[in-house]
């Protein structure tokens, strides 16, 4: 079966990132259409389409937009989260580099719906090429009258600004992102208040992911019912799945939500190199609990994966074959979260540090069986006890690895060496 490409439809085209290419495939017609509809109706359409946030949480986008107070005296902001840094995720980078205009068109429509006149695109500092493409696309959109004052003679004004980060995973957390745009360390804020009440510069703010916003023009053009007819009833639309690790054909695959994980790995990923067996799969970016080989016959949608004790997250699927040491995997992940913890909360700052230390000692043959329960205890104390979800993102995969591969850990500890 071929992919069902909506967002990725033109990414392979020569000069796909230019406004000429975008216009030649009907680009900005959704904006023209949207500007003739009342803002509240646009939000209703997005709500009816069932579009759920593609940044990891899967929260319905239209409902989020409705959280903006309708009578706000303060300016309203929209921030596009292009800080793609979740290990295993590389879907937004393609949109940013190869088809940025559909995201920009989505941002303009979203701003019109929530009555915002200032939008930011926050891109991570490690994507200089993407930043260049986005800046070019913003400039083109201004030149063509899709940004600025009185867009397409509708009376609607919007300014858009690119903000480039400087290296911090935590700025992908929506309030960490806002702090960063304000010129501070990317330390997440306690919630409530949520950004829709008090966000950027103290004003109502919506933060949406790149892929979420790229869906919006397609919903306006083809209708909410069309979008809702793809996928499953509560998980609508296509999703860009990223396959990496031990597969023959790593890469991006746009498929309806609800695709079977085994099918994704076998049919689209071409199976495992050398005919080896799968040992574990991280289904939704590194913060998701891993599945063992016997848990892969599952529909890849937000609700089904959550019900199985993990999360769809960013749908970045990392495949690990039978040659992999799960002790090294856990250690690699702990290192990442220790490195990226902002340090505000004790459970996270200390927890990630201790997890990495204990896992390294186990790997080096200096572990004891009691260490496994200490790891599980630390993980449970890190979950749901901090300002943001980074500590949970570390605890969930590590807890799942220790639980599901405990025999491997015990055997390794007893042998006392790698």
Partner 1 sequence: MPFPPRLRDKIQEIADDHETRLSALIPVLREVQNEFGWLSNESMEEVAEALDIPPSSVQNVASFYTMFFTEPVGTHVMWLCRTLSCALRGAEGLEHHLCRRLGVKTGETTADGKITLLEAECLASCGTAPAMLVDDTLYENLTETEVDRIVDKIKRSG
Tell me the closest approach of the beta carbon of residue 32 to partner 1, in angstroms: 30
CA angle 106, 110, 116 (to 5 degrees): 130
Give min distance, CB of 48 to partner 1, in A.
Answer: 32
Which CB sits closer to partner 1, 32 or 328?
328
254 DSSP β-pair partners: 240
The residues binding partner 1 (CB under 8 A) are 84-90, 92-93, 124-129, 163-169, 180-186, 201, 242-246, 250-252, 282, 286, 316, 318, 320, 324, 328-329, 332-333, 335-336, 339-340, 342
- Residue pair 62/47 in contact (Cβ under 8 Å)? The answer is yes
For partner 1, which is the closer residue by CB, 17 or 90?
Answer: 90
By beta-carbon proximity to partner 1, the closer residue of 34 and 96 is 96
Backbone φ, ψ for residue 292 (5° rounding)? -85, 175
Token match 């919007």: residue? 158
Minimum CB separation of residue 93 from partner 1 in Å reads 5
Give, rounded to a whole angstrom, the gap between the first and last alpha carbons of the chain: 42
Angle at 360 between CA 359 and CA 365, to 5 degrees: 100
Angle at 141 between CA 139 and CA 147, to 5 degrees: 105
Strand partners, 235: 232
Instruction: Please state the closest distance from residue 16 (CB atom) to partner 1, in A.
Output: 18
| Closer to partner 1 by Cβ: residue 179 or 392 | 179
Q: Which is nearer to partner 1, 109 or 326 (CB)?
A: 326
CA angle 383, 384, 385 (to 5 degrees): 95
Which DSSP helix (H) or strand (E) runs through 113?
helix 100-114
Nearer to partner 1, 40 or 166 (CB): 166
Report the nearest approach of partner 1 to the CB of residue 209 (Å).
13
DSSP letter assigned to residue 175: H
Each as own residue / partner, the long-range contacts of residues 61-66 (CB below 8 Å, 24 or more positions apart, any chain) are 61/208, 61/212, 61/216, 64/196, 64/206, 64/208, 65/110, 65/113, 65/114, 65/206
Q: How far is the CB of 327 from partner 1 (least distance, A)?
A: 13
Q: What angle do CA 52, 204, 388 make, to 5 degrees?
A: 60
Beta-bridge mates of residue 299? 260
H or E stretch covering 78: strand 77-82
The nearest distance, CB 323 to partner 1, in angstroms, is 10
Name which of 105 and 340 has its Cβ closer to partner 1. Answer: 340
Phi and psi at residue 233, to the nearest 5°: -55, -40
CB of 44 to partner 1, least distance (A): 31
Nearer to partner 1, 104 or 319 (CB): 319
């Amino acid at each position: 079966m071929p992919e069902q490409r909506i967002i990725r439809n033109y990414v392979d085209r020569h000069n796909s990132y230019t406004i000429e290419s975008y216009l030649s495939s009907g680009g900005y017609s959704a904006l023209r259409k949207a500007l003739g509809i009342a803002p509240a109706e646009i939000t209703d359409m997005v709500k009816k389409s069932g579009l759920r946030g593609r940044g990891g949480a899967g929260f319905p986008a239209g409902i989020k937009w409705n959280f903006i107070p309708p009578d706000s005296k303060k300016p309203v902001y929209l921030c596009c989260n292009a800080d793609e840094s979740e290990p295993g995720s590389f879907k937004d980078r393609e949109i940013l580099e190869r088809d940025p205009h559909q995201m920009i068109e989505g941002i303009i429509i979203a701003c019109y719906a929530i009555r915002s006149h200032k939008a930011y695109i926050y891109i991570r500092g490690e994507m200089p090429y993407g930043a260049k493409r986005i800046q070019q696309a913003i400039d083109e959109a201004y030149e063509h009258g899709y940004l600025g004052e009185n867009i397409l003679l509708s009376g609607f004004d919007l300014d858009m600004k690119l903000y480039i980060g400087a290296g911090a995973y935590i700025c992908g957390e929506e309030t960490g992102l806002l702090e960063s745009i304000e010129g501070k360390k990317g330390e997440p804020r306690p919630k409530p208040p949520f950004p829709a009440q008090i966000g950027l510069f103290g004003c109502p703010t919506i933060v949406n992911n790149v892929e979420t916003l790229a869906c919006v023009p397609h919903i306006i053009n083809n209708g909410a019912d069309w979008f809702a007819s793809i996928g499953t009833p509560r998980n609508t639309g296509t999703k860009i799945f990223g396959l990496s690790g031990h597969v023959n054909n790593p890469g991006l695959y746009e498929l309806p939500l609800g695709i079977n994980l085994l099918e994704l790995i076998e049919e689209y990923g071409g199976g495992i190199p050398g005919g080896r067996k799968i040992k574990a799969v991280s289904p939704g970016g590194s913060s998701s609990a891993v599945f063992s080989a016997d848990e892969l016959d599952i529909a890849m949608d937000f609700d089904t994966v959550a019900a199985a004790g993990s999360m769809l997250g960013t749908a970045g699927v990392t495949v690990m074959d039978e040659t992999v040491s799960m002790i090294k995997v856990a250690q690699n992940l702990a290192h990442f979260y220790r490195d990226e913890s902002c340090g505000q909360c004790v459970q996270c700052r200390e927890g990630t540090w201790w997890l990495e230390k204990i896992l390294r000692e186990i790997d080096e043959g200096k572990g004891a069986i009691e260490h496994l329960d200490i790891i599980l205890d630390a993980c449970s104390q890190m979950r749901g006890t901090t300002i943001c979800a980074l500590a949970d993102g570390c605890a969930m995969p590590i807890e799942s690895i220790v639980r599901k591969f405990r025999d491997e850990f015990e055997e390794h500890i007893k042998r006392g060496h790698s």
